[in-house]
Structure 1
Amino acid sequence: MQATSSKALPQQVPPRAASAGAASSQPVVPPVRRRAFAPLEPIGARARVLLGLGFFVVFVLVWSLATLGGFVSPTFLASPPTMVKEGWLLFTEYGFIGDIGMTVWRVFGGFLLAAVFAVPLGIAMGTWKTVEAFFEPFVSFCRYLPASAFIPLLILWAGLGEMQKLLVIFIGSFFQIVLMVAVTVGGARRDLVEAAYTLGANSRGIVARVLIPGAAPGIAETLRLVLGWAWTYVIVAELIGSSSGIGHMITDSQALLNTGQIIFGIIVIGVIGLLSDFAFKALNRRLFAWAAL
């Protein structure tokens, strides 16, 4: 009787063995393999730097091949060694460092002047629709006017001094900043505004604690972009009626058919602009680190 009853009892499966069997029955998902040229696939910081430097290397090699190989006349395009030699002469014999200083001062002076007036107006236009309806048509109209078209009038109004050059940069930057800031502030999340009203905030508190903090990273990015445009305006301002600056040097070099100095001046503008852009990015990441989360 005992043997018969023992055979009738079901076998007990240990819990750990059952869970292991259930886990083994699930399909195994293979790891995702990243592809270098997949759309929107991120790359590492080291690869980004190497690729960026690689383009400049290829560019210089093609430039050297075209000039040193005799495919392009030196009258129209100087070779890289000639450009470096002319740049050295600019610094050692012609006081080019002073021209760089004047150009940098004009760029940042005109840009800061535009930002001081444009950012508050842009915030007001993005916050209150009545202000936007009043200013937006005129600002949009002026945004399409080239800053260089105002140079003859600015020479008549302000002469050939520094104020004329600052005003060219101001006009070229002001209207762009106003509209871009207005769009950034006006794109605030409505749910955050309604939540602030629910918690008892008034109109002033909505602007000071919701709209401006939420739009601050976008406003900083707008200023970074417009600073790059300001470099194009300063060269236009210095090409006419100027006795100093990188644009003035380029004009004098053009009269002498010295393409080495012209190219060197253009490269200096690009290098200074790139350094200022990196500095602006680093400052934005430091001030608004939470925006990248």
Structure 2
Amino acid sequence: MTVQTDKRAEPRQTRFSSRKSIFSMSADFSPSTYIFISACAFLLLLALWLLVTGVGLLKPIFLPSPAAVLARLGKLAADGTLASDVGNSVYRITIGFLIASVMALATAILIGAYRFWEAAIEPFLDFVRYMPVVAFVPLTILWSGTSDAQKFLIIWIGTYFQQALMFKDNIKRVPPDFIGFGRTLGMSDFRVLMRIVVPSAMPQIWDTLRISLGWAWTWVTLAELVAANSGLGFRITVAQRYLQTDMAIGYILVLGVLGLATDQIMRFLGRQFFKYESKA
């Protein structure tokens, strides 16, 4: 007995099964669609904020309206306070992050390439990285006062130990065949590291830099919350003291915008620097 099938239904079924939902794991869509979805998510949160404050579910002292926050930020921008605070925080995070990153990369090359230095240094890095950065704040004030050096030190403590271990993992992922090729050419250890290992690991190192930059924003804000007379964290402390919730939320939003902007800039630069990665 033969089973007859409706051949006209087969193409329709095939077309239906080939359609992928945007919620599926294998979904893929254009960058413009990605941006649209992201914008909708932010607009949804803004609408929820407007609803909660508009119907009076929370008093303004607990959650001011978006209009009140924007008005406060507008006043601070008009008298130059906002620009000064942003400039001070950006300066501190730039210097502190650069110092930590350069030292972490040098350490990572050492412990990633040499077994002896890995055994000598990595356990200490693992030991320190579990210590809470907040516990070091009083000590850093004791050691370096409340100057910018204290902010640099907090950023260094919060990022260096994590970065060194993550950079080391990036370097360890370089295929051994690459290193063997350098040996075949008679290259010295230093040249193998500088000409083969580090360039091969640089796309992953750059991505690690992008991620750890977010930690640096957290630590500089923490340092300014405790011991500073300027900066975004300092202004949040002032707002808390005088119950100026609109200013506190406004500066938190500014921190979010700055963090998102630096993250996207790092992503863009990474795509420009390592175009061969995207092609691969």
Does the alignment reach a TM-score above 0.5?
yes
Do residues 95 (structure 1) and 81 (structure 2) align?
yes
Q: 1:128 maps to what in 2?
A: 114
Q: 1:216 maps to what in 2?
A: 202
Q: 1:160 maps to what in 2?
A: 146
Q: 1:17 maps to what in 2?
A: none
- After superposition, give the CA deviation of every residue in 1:76-135 in whole Å (9 maximum; x if it has no partner): 111111111111111124622101100111111100011121111111111111111110
Does the 8 Å CA contact 1:77/1:259 hold for their aligned counterparts?
yes
Q: Which moved more, 1:28-37 or 1:213-222?
A: 28-37
Do residues 190 (structure 1) and 189 (structure 2) align?
no
Q: 1:250 maps to what in 2?
A: 236
1:280 maps to a residue whose letter is M
1:133 maps to a residue whose letter is A
Q: Distance in 2 between matches of 1:196 and 1:112?
A: 30
- The gaps in structure 1 that reach 5 residues or longer are 1-26
- After superposition, give the CA deviation of every residue in 1:151-190 in whole Å (9 maximum; x if it has no partner): 1111111111111111101111111110000111012212
Aligned pair partner of 1:261 in 226, 243, 247 = 247
Higher alpha-carbon Rg: 1
Aligned pair partner of 1:58 in 44, 66, 72 = 44
Q: 1:16 maps to what in 2?
A: none
1:221 maps to a residue whose letter is D
Q: Distance in 2 between matches of 1:193 and 1:110?
A: 33
Does the 8 Å CA contact 1:147/1:169 hold for their aligned counterparts?
no
Q: 1:23 maps to what in 2?
A: none
Q: How many residues align?
A: 267
- 3-state secondary structure, aligned to 2:83: helix
Q: Distance in 2 between matches of 1:157 and 1:34?
A: 59
Q: 2:20 maps to what in 1?
A: 34
Q: Which moved more, 1:105-114 or 1:87-96?
A: 87-96
Q: Distance in 1 between matches of 2:256 and 2:265?
A: 14
Q: 1:86 maps to what in 2?
A: 72
Does the 8 Å CA contact 1:239/1:248 hold for their aligned counterparts?
yes
Deviation at 1:278, TM superposition (A): 1.1
Q: Distance in 1 between matches of 2:191 and 2:230?
A: 48
Aligned pair partner of 2:98 in 86, 89, 112 = 112
- The gaps in structure 2 that reach 5 residues or longer are 1-9
Q: Distance in 2 between matches of 1:40 and 1:257?
A: 48
Question: How high is the TM-score relative to the length of structure 2?
Answer: 0.90
Q: 1:146 maps to what in 2?
A: 132
Does the 8 Å CA contact 2:20/2:26 hold for their aligned counterparts?
no
Does the 8 Å CA contact 1:114/1:174 hold for their aligned counterparts?
yes
Q: Distance in 1 between matches of 2:275 and 2:88?
A: 33
Q: Distance in 1 between matches of 2:182 and 2:149?
A: 44
1:120 maps to a residue whose letter is A
Does the 8 Å CA contact 1:188/1:215 hold for their aligned counterparts?
yes
Q: 1:271 maps to what in 2?
A: 257
RMSD of the TM alignment (CA)? 1.8
Q: Distance in 2 between matches of 1:285 and 1:265?
A: 30
Percent identity reads: 35
Deviation at 1:35, TM superposition (A): 3.1
Q: Which moved more, 1:164-173 or 1:202-211?
A: 202-211
